[in-house]
Amino acid sequence: MSDNRPTGPEGAGETGPAVVGNEAYGHKPFKRSRSHFADRIAADGRGEWPVEAGRYRLVVSRACPWASRALISRRLLGLEGVLSLAVADPLQDDRSWRFTLDEGGRDPVLGIAYLSEAYEAREPGYSGGVSVPAIVDVPSGRLVTNDFQQITLDLATEWTTLHRPGAPDLYPEGLREEIDEVMEGIYRDVNNGVYRAGFASGQSEYEDAYRDVFRRLDLVSERLADRRYLVGDFITEADIRLFTTLVRFDAVYHGHFKCNRSKLAEDPVLWAYARDLYQTPGFGDTVDFDHIKRHYYRVHTGINPTGIVPAGPDLSGWLTPHHREQLGGSPFGYGTAPGPVPAGEEVPAAGRP
């Protein structure tokens, strides 16, 4: 495995300030590194980590778009009962993601105060970035993977024997080539593009990223003008990956990351598409706007030194009719919607519209 440890604001997923402080954001060129720990949890038991109900714990921050992918996938596939969930505090200290939301400041299952302890258990002396999403082996307390690109694909394809009845196929084999192509552009220009703009350390670097973001959003808007979902007639991995950036756009990226040509709510197609997904079980019920805003505006002190969290935008629009059902398609294909959010995993009222 190659060593691609982050040394600042870059890194896989949402990375904490393990090596340099939060003030580094916006003061050095942005580069997202590959995941340092990329082990697979496999259905056929190959390797060290077999798929096994109850063995692993998914660690997320509700603020992080990369972790939100895993949250949504877990809900849609009905894996809540077999893959437990740990939610980190959206605010970090110098040791990064911490479990201060839990009683006693420790995760009740792993018994640790910081996610970095699972990284240290996996690789003693590890000094790189600590990112979410992460999957931890509960018996040993060791990190298994922080490969944010692969985690959701594996949940969809390797964990099938543990999926709920009626779970959708989020990465159907016959559509994977098209899904991969669509996701590649969205990742480069939108998911990652907003970070390249927000953490840019120079004007030209920022403007290049800014142009990429809106060029791709315009293309996606054109694609979605006459189709309900990005690929096929139902939700796929591609929709999940686009949604987690769109749902943060007006609240964070428009102002904080200076992606301000236009708001999401000013594009009729993308705004309706995002509302359609938000109102679909498994999407909006995982979104915590309070965590999102507090994390970005208070943690990224290099680009928001006052730490002031904006009072807006008005979130009530997320619940307004979208009329996208007129385009046809069905969100879950031949499957069904996930059940109610499990007790204890509900988004607090402060984080909802």
Residue positions annotated with a catalytic role? 64, 195
Residue 211: Cβ-neighbour burial (10 angstroms; 0-12, 13-18, 19+): middle
C-alpha–C-alpha distance, residues 274 and 283, integer Å: 10
C-alpha–C-alpha distance, residues 118 and 122, integer Å: 6
Strand partners, 224: none
Residue 26 CB partners (closer than 8 Å, separation 6+): 9, 198, 199, 200, 201, 300, 302, 303
C-alpha–C-alpha distance, residues 34 and 5, integer Å: 8
Q: From the DSSP assignment, how many helices (H) and strands (E) are in the chain? A: 9, 6
Phi-psi region for residue 54, left (φ > 0), alpha (ψ -120 to 50) or beta? left
- Give the single-character DSSP code of 309: P
Peptide bond between residue 268 and the one before it cis (omega within 30 degrees of 0): no
C-alpha–C-alpha distance, residues 316 and 310, integer Å: 16
Peptide bond between residue 348 and the one before it cis (omega within 30 degrees of 0): no
- Do residues 301 and 25 make contact, with C-beta atoms less than 8 angstroms apart? yes
Q: Cα angle vertex 47, ends 138, 14, to 5°? A: 55
Q: What string of DSSP letters covers 221-238?
A: HHHHTS-SSSSTTS--HH
Q: How many CA atoms lie within 13 A of 165 on its CB side?
A: 0
